[in-house]
Amino acid sequence: MPSPNVLTSRLREAIEAGILQKDDHGLYCLTRRGRKLLDLLAPLDAWSKEWARTLEK
């Protein structure tokens, strides 16, 4: 598990990049840009999981 300092730094970077924001309750959530990034990364995630299954055989 990353140290709290590393996690805080990564969260700050994601906010500065416009990927995350804090809601009215202080919770982190994806921005529109973050949701778009998630949509774009989904096919890569699916491919990597399939590839990992081939390595298990």
Residues 6+ apart with CB under 8 A from 17: 33
pLDDT of residue 29: 98
pLDDT of residue 3: 84
pLDDT of residue 57: 74
pLDDT tens sequence for the chain (57 residues):
668 899 999 999 999 999 999 999 999 999 999 999 999 999 999 999 999 999 987
pTM over 0.85: no
**Burial code of 15-53, b = ≥16 C-beta within 10 A, e = fewer?**
eeeebbeeeeeeeeeeeeebeebeeeeeeeeeeeeeeee
User: What is the domain partition of the chain in residue ranges?
Assistant: 4-56
Three-class secondary structure of residue 28 per DSSP: strand
